[in-house]
Structure 1
Amino acid sequence: MKKCLRYILVFLFFFILVLLGGFFVVDHFFPLSITNNKTTQTILAEDGTPLWRFADENGVWRYPIQLDDVPNDYLDVLLNYEDRHFYEHVGINPASLLRAAWQNITNKRIISGGSTISMQVARLLYPHDRTMIGKLKQIFRTLQLELHFTKDEILTLYINRAPFGGTIEGLGAASWSYFGKAPKALTRSEAVLLAVLPQAPSRLRPDRYPKRAKQARDKVLARLAQYQVWSPDIIEQVQKEEVWVYPRKKPQLAPLLARRLNQQYPNIDIIHSTIDLSLQYSLEDIANNRKNQLPPKTSLAILVVDHTDMSVKGYIGSVDFNDKERFGQVDMISSLRSPGSTLKPFMYALAIDDGMIHSESLLQDTPRISSDYRPTNFDEDFYGPISASEALKNSLNLPAVELIELYGPKRFAGKLASIGLPLESNGNNPNISYILGGASLRMDNLVSAYSAFARHGQVSPLRFTQDEPLLSKPFISDGSAWITRQMLVNNHQLVYKTGTSYGYRDAWAVGMNPRYLIGVWVGRPDGTPVVGQYGSITAVPILQQVNSLLLNKERRLNRPLPLVTKPATVTSAKICWPSGQALPANDENCHRQKNAWILNNMIPPTLDTLTVLNNNIYRSGWVTIWVNNEGKRVSADCFNAHKKQIALWPIALENWLLPKERRQSLFPEMDKDCPVFGKDVFSPLNIIGLRDKQWVKRLPGQQDVTIDVTPQGGTGDKWWFLDGDLIEQTHDDQKVALRVTQTGLHHLLLLDQSGQILRLSFTLD
């Protein structure tokens, strides 16, 4: 008998060894893999609320969580209802299997499977038929799970893979879908319901069958009472609660941001964005309300950034993601568009840093001709002498062209590219048109570049996720940033710049308050024009609405706004035009006095245009002359001659100056006894052959009239404009034949190479 028992034990020993050996061999050749169930991707708001979810190829959404994210109440229910000995067995509970087999045999149908949580995970990872072979496969995979994973890891797999009805898998997705909250915030009643739901997810869905769900929940509560998991008082309290869930709703906020992050981080399951959930809701409401006010096929984009850490708080890439006629799925925040005048603040800031201008430098808003820029409408709408601050605030084109010509278009474009704002154009050959919108850029890069004015001259890339670091790159000085911001001030809490591209295709407003950067764009994604669409008319009202929303939010949070302090490198000074420098107010060369912000105590003189500088034509600034004791102008070698300095205005401004400020008035009368020989310092421009306001009559029987006109004075090439159209280009005193056919009032304008202009009008009868 003992010998027989020994043989049995030896046989069992070797049998177990063979089974174990076979198990490890099969485990080696058929390894367990959980990657065949690829987790879907979820984009979260700053507070952890799902904004958008990307399902798998079957439309299933999973929201992976860790055990620390699961409430203890849920774990109590799950383990006591599904697998009370989960942490004691090796994945298979023989007693449960035998009990399930007996129930199935006696009832002649499947009553229960006797599966542990580990076995359920194995079935979720490797689905099988309900046959004996299928059960053996499940057991094998279960033992593999127990071999390669800890109990907590297996439990985590179950929590993230269990079915919860429809296309929802995992406790995280179920909690957000049914109750609109994170799993950690589930109530006891909700935890019990979600613990039992995977038993029959289609039959017990609480959004469709609340009565069935309540019955199943109460059945679980009875089990908890039986095993004294919870006290009778708690169970009674939970039983009184009705089963109520949100209407099933997919997270659908910030779709274009979600797509952007999905493309940028395709292998990350959960992306923690920096989006402010309540702000995003409000911005989408603003876009939806504005939609009906916009012309057909017009979209808009809004970008809000907290410039204290460069985190993106609001992202509206189109007016309506689902509106195909408005190209709603085109993200205008990342699309190339013409910036209009929104680049001008950078030009002024760089010019200040370069010592070219201060805040009140004299600039010229006058008609001009150059190889790259030809005005097409010479009307009366020019300011003439204009300060840098007024030119920027009024977004005047010609002063900005004056600056970029002197600074250098390639240098300007290179500076912007170095901080992440590349400009693109046909041929990518930077020219002066860039400052007027003659290149394309992206809104996100533009708003990032504007951080220089809020972050002491440092430019920082936008941060779309909480894991992205805050980086900075120097661009302009702190003082230049502060001065430029002051030049743009509209009110003390909102600074902004507008832009309108050629043909009314893009309307812009980019602004900042003490905490936020705001970018607004309005236009048609297909690039077709919308006549009358200006940045100041179309985009600014949206900017102001968003700004009010943000400031109200700060007040509700009782959060103090960051303070903007003047850098020590910036001081104020009283300067005089036309020299642009500091002079006593009673100095005869101080024609107009201004209060200017200056950088590093530098007071740069007034600039001349590039044309005047290159040709040495009628330069402005200080001119030295010689006068006698009577104050008359004389030659330097005359008796009693002494030096006198005169500050001259730029020649192109002559038509906008007071009579006493013009060159002819500034130069003293010539002394006939000791005159100055040689070419005079100024030759005013005139027209011979036609007087201002002259009436011209046609000869009898003729339909038109030809008027011969000749320029007098001025210098270099001359351009003739009749009623706004360029009709002739001549040199020096070359005669021009004006052929006029239409009766009525006509306007003639003559422009010379130095920038002088002469206007006159005449009427053809």
Structure 2
Amino acid sequence: MNKIQSRIRQHKIKLVVITLVLIAYYFCLPNPLFKTPTATVITSSNNTLLGAKIAIDGQWRFPHNDSIPEKFKQSVLLFEDAYFYRHPGFNPISICKAFSQNLRSGSIKRGGSTLTQQVIRLARKGQPRTYFEKLKEIILATRLELSTSKDNILALYSSNAPFGGNVIGLDAASWRYFNRSPYNLSWAESATLAVLPNAPSLIYPGKNQKRLLTKRNRLLKKLLQNNVIDSLTYRLSIAEQLPQKPYPLPEITPHLLQKIAQTHHGKRLKTTINIQLQEHINYLVKTHYNQLSENEIFNAAVLVLDVKSRKILAYVGNTPTHMLHQKDVDIIDKPRSTGSILKPFLYAAMLDAGDILPNTLVADVPTQFGNYNPKNFSNDYDGAITASRALSRSLNVPAVRMLQEFGLDKFYHYLSALHLKDLKYNANHYGLSLILGGAESNLWDLCKSYAALSSTLNHFSETSGRYYTNEFCDPIFIEDTSINFGEIIAEKPLFDAASVYLTYESLKEVNRPEGDESWEFFDGSKQIAWKTGTSFGFRDAWAIGTTKDYVVGVWVGNADGEGRPGLVGIETAAPILFDVFDLLPNSEWFSKPFDEMQEIKVCKLSGYRASQFCDTTEDTFVQTSGLKTKPCPFHKLIHLDKTETHQVNSSCESIDNITHKSWFVLPPLMAHFYKTKNPFYKPLPKFRIDCLQDNAVSMEFIYPKENNSIFLPKEFDGKTNDLVLKIAHSKPELTVFWYLDATFMGSTKDIHEFSMIPKPGNHTITVVDEFGNEAKRHITISE
């Protein structure tokens, strides 16, 4: 012990120096070794390259790849460092030979560097090639050998070696020079890449082809002599052509690449994209773009989601248009006017709240709310229509009236729960136009919302009548991530399963695009719940559809917001939607959520719960919340004579001779339009002339609406056109008297239409029937 202590005291300085040297040696290797920026690279779910965004220093340098293709590995070892797996980081024999040759020539002609030393030199880029620098490389190379495996050193070399121009690393070189993965290269192609880093500034595809060919063939000869390849492979390899110029990298999902680069810049990510589906949809969008551009419609976007996993299977952010038409803009997450695409959410909300049943009759008549005067796309009215049919036909007036009845704030609450990020203002800011495109949303949020509804149904069926807490979550596009749907609970997250199912049953009946109208008659046809939308001014066309397994969303329009005639959802977006669904596997229809439904008797004519006066009923499964809806208000018991042609009462007929009958009666304005579409609608019979009648009658203006501003055009001869006034009366046989500003103008009977030419200015139109019932309209005649 004393001897050891004595020796330590004697060699204290040496031990300190050795210790410091060992510490310096331990910490001399930078970590990480390479700090250069890398490109953002994305691949499909099966690892096919989708696209790459160049590194910020302008180099095509892919992120580090731990694996190396065997062909390239064999080629580069034989060409650069045959003793790679046997030396400690440097090769003394090669160094001595290089030193001797350099002395004879009087300059540095040969380096004698191993692959490990070359990795160090690449990491220490820009250092002069001197003997002192070579010594540093040797020290750092031995340290690198001690810190990692040989295979990892080889991977570092292949990921950072220069391959000519601005191409760095094997992966980038393989795609730039051969347009495919390095794992799919031939022996000749692998040999070509193996020799390039030796003199990347002198030889690369397109430059010094003869020298490159000589080097490649010399390496192939070595591979043959070392029994790495056989003679047939050798002959075929030397016959292969050299690449002449770099290929552009794939641009299969350029807009998804943009999106990923914002948060994962310089990373390599495996996405959820299905490469075959993506390429087919790219082709579809290009085909439709060629047709749409003839009408100066230049942009479109498509998003495809897997309902069960919420993975994005295809992402087309825009058409292959020109820079002039903003082809680089990713439309998928950009706010656009929603048109009618929110109507299914209102229908589901009213079902969920128990305000309607699926086939409840709603009014479809000319309507005005203050200065807001919604119109149907066809400028036609049905008078009364089932809520389900109003949704499948996307009628505007019933939707606005339903929103007004349901409550704007109440509906806004439902929309807020969908997490639509572009719904930035309060409910009053949007008003009733909210349901017709007064708000903005984007394809991403809308598709995720439809996917959430579909998933709610799926999970309800899978869990025997329960829900998940986190249905309304964002889709995912990175393969190694998954959705956490939260906990299983008994309470609905937003809409109950029955309301969603009944909404989808209505959307399944939406009229399909031209050429696909008879879809329901074909075996194997896809059952799809889908909806279109068209914004005001024909600026945005939408189509979103869902099956049990997939959601497809399509937007068509111009990125700059320019409207075009014919830019409507059914004509431009829906054809793309169904072309995409044709690429997807068939899905079974959603299971009926019986646990959230009850079978009740429903009035067949009105769709309401059957009242005691409904003479035609049917048993129908409805949402449980629908049990609180009111009974049918349109059937009433009336009293007829024995011929059933006139109404009577006890004032003119004995009770024994009175027939009691249920009658379907709509309010006058609804009846006026309803009977034009329903020829079997029977108005109430008139009272027999000898009966005392109940004077309770009703009448409503059809035209004009309250506070209308009206312009009366003139003919070519200068004559001003008449203003034609029109009312609906519950008893049209009564005489109606017309007044303009308290001045009697005339009377009508049976058909209550009246023409007049008021002077410019403000006027009051008054109508009075012979029972004294009165209605007024205030209008302005403009010049």
TM-score interval w.r.t. the shorter chain?
0.7 to 0.9
Tell me if structure 1 keeps the 8 A contact 2:412–2:427.
no
> How far off is 1:273 after superposition?
1.5
Note if 1:498 corresponds to 2:535.
no
Q: What is the correspondence of 1:318-717 to structure 2 with a 5 Å cutoff?
A: 318-320=318-320, 323-371=322-370, 373-375=372-374, 381-424=380-423, 429=428, 430-457=430-457, 458-472=471-485, 474-489=493-508, 490=512, 491=519, 492-493=525-526, 494-513=528-547, 515-548=549-582, 550-551=583-584, 554=585, 561-569=587-595, 575-576=602-603, 579-581=606-608, 589-590=614-615, 598-600=622-624, 602=626, 620-621=633-634, 632-633=648-649, 648-650=665-667, 652-658=669-675, 664-665=684-685, 680=696, 682-685=697-700
Structure 1 range deviating more: 329-338 or 297-306: 297-306
Query: What per-residue deviation string (whole Å, max 9, x for no partner) do you get for residues 249-280 of structure 1?
Result: 222222111101111323x6111112222333
The whole-number CA distance in structure 2 between the counterparts of 1:232 and 1:14 is 61
The residue number in structure 2 matching 1:156 is 155
The residue number in structure 2 matching 1:51 is 50
Q: Of residues 53, 70, 79 in structure 1, which corresponds to 2:77?
A: 79
Query: What per-residue deviation string (whole Å, max 9, x for no partner) do you get for residues 603-662 of structure 1?
Result: 665799xxxxxxxxxxx4466889999984469xx9999999766434541213459967
Letter in 2 for 1:325: L
Provide the secondary structure at the position in 2 that maps to 1:504: coil
The whole-number CA distance in structure 1 between the counterparts of 2:254 and 2:223 is 43
The residue number in structure 2 matching 1:274 is 272
Letter in 1 for 2:591: T
The residue number in structure 2 matching 1:287 is 285
Note if 1:313 corresponds to 2:337.
no
The whole-number CA distance in structure 2 between the counterparts of 1:417 and 1:256 is 28
The whole-number CA distance in structure 2 between the counterparts of 1:379 and 1:521 is 22
Tell me if structure 2 keeps the 8 A contact 1:274–1:311.
yes
Tell me if structure 2 keeps the 8 A contact 1:626–1:634.
no
The residue number in structure 1 matching 2:706 is none
Letter in 1 for 2:544: V
Distance 1:349 1:379, change over 3 A: closer
The whole-number CA distance in structure 1 between the counterparts of 2:153 and 2:81 is 13
Letter in 2 for 1:230: V
Distance 1:16 1:220, change over 3 A: farther
Tell me if structure 1 keeps the 8 A contact 2:40–2:54.
yes
Structure 1 range deviating more: 368-377 or 334-343: 368-377
Tell me if structure 2 keeps the 8 A contact 1:704–1:741.
no
Structure 1 range deviating more: 239-248 or 521-530: 239-248
Tell me if structure 2 keeps the 8 A contact 1:416–1:422.
no
Letter in 2 for 1:487: S
Letter in 1 for 2:550: Y
The residue number in structure 1 matching 2:195 is 196
> How far off is 1:123 after superposition?
0.8
Q: Of residues 115, 133, 141 in structure 2, which corresponds to 1:117?
A: 115
> How far off is 1:143 after superposition?
4.3
Note if 1:182 corresponds to 2:195.
no
> How far off is 1:399 after superposition?
1.5
The whole-number CA distance in structure 2 between the counterparts of 1:687 and 1:257 is 52
> How far off is 1:443 after superposition?
0.8
Provide the secondary structure at the position in 2 that maps to 1:402: helix
Gaps of 5+ in 1: 1-10, 555-559, 609-619, 689-697, 715-721, 743-747, 760-765
The whole-number CA distance in structure 1 between the counterparts of 2:305 and 2:666 is 44
Tell me if structure 2 keeps the 8 A contact 1:338–1:437.
yes
The whole-number CA distance in structure 2 between the counterparts of 1:523 and 1:306 is 25
The whole-number CA distance in structure 1 between the counterparts of 2:175 and 2:494 is 44
The residue number in structure 1 matching 2:465 is none
> How far off is 1:33 after superposition?
4.3
Letter in 1 for 2:319: V
The whole-number CA distance in structure 2 between the counterparts of 1:572 and 1:62 is 65
Q: What is the correspondence of 1:96-135 to structure 2 with a 5 Å cutoff?
A: 96-127=94-125, 128-135=127-134
Distance 1:259 1:363, change over 3 A: same
> How far off is 1:291 after superposition?
3.3
Provide the secondary structure at the position in 2 that maps to 1:448: helix
Q: How does the TM-score come out when normalised to structure 2?
A: 0.75
Tell me if structure 1 keeps the 8 A contact 2:665–2:683.
yes
The residue number in structure 1 matching 2:461 is none
Distance 1:604 1:537, change over 3 A: farther
The residue number in structure 2 matching 1:262 is 261
> How far off is 1:199 after superposition?
1.1
Q: What's the RMSD between the two structures over aligned residues?
A: 4.8
Q: How many equivalent pairs are there?
A: 686
Provide the secondary structure at the position in 1 that maps to 2:455: coil
Query: What per-residue deviation string (whole Å, max 9, x for no partner) do you get for residues 327-384 of structure 1?
Result: 2122111110011001111111222222222332211111122247324799971011
Provide the secondary structure at the position in 2 that maps to 1:455: helix
The whole-number CA distance in structure 2 between the counterparts of 1:167 and 1:729 is 84
Distance 1:452 1:757, change over 3 A: farther
Gaps of 5+ in 2: 1-9, 458-470, 487-492, 513-518, 520-524, 704-713, 731-737, 748-753, 778-783
Provide the secondary structure at the position in 2 that maps to 1:249: coil
Distance 1:244 1:80, change over 3 A: closer
The whole-number CA distance in structure 2 between the counterparts of 1:711 and 1:225 is 98
Provide the secondary structure at the position in 2 that maps to 1:412: helix
Distance 1:381 1:136, change over 3 A: same
Distance 1:126 1:320, change over 3 A: same
The whole-number CA distance in structure 2 between the counterparts of 1:82 and 1:190 is 16
Tell me if structure 2 keeps the 8 A contact 1:417–1:423.
no
The residue number in structure 1 matching 2:3 is none
Q: What is the correspondence of 1:196-275 to structure 2 with a 5 Å cutoff?
A: 196-206=195-205, 211-224=210-223, 228=226, 230=228, 233=231, 236=234, 239-245=237-243, 248-266=247-265, 269-275=267-273
Letter in 1 for 2:561: G
Letter in 1 for 2:153: I
Tell me if structure 2 keeps the 8 A contact 1:60–1:168.
yes
Provide the secondary structure at the position in 2 that maps to 1:91: coil
> How far off is 1:285 after superposition?
2.8
Tell me if structure 1 keeps the 8 A contact 2:301–2:554.
yes
Query: What per-residue deviation string (whole Å, max 9, x for no partner) do you get for residues 584-611 of structure 1?
Result: 9xx97447x7786523495665799xxx
Distance 1:238 1:518, change over 3 A: same
Percent identity of paired positions between Structure 1 and Structure 2: 29
Tell me if structure 1 keeps the 8 A contact 2:320–2:327.
yes
The residue number in structure 1 matching 2:303 is 303
Tell me if structure 2 keeps the 8 A contact 1:452–1:475.
no
Provide the secondary structure at the position in 2 that maps to 1:580: coil
Distance 1:194 1:392, change over 3 A: same
> How far off is 1:124 after superposition?
0.5
The whole-number CA distance in structure 2 between the counterparts of 1:107 and 1:425 is 76
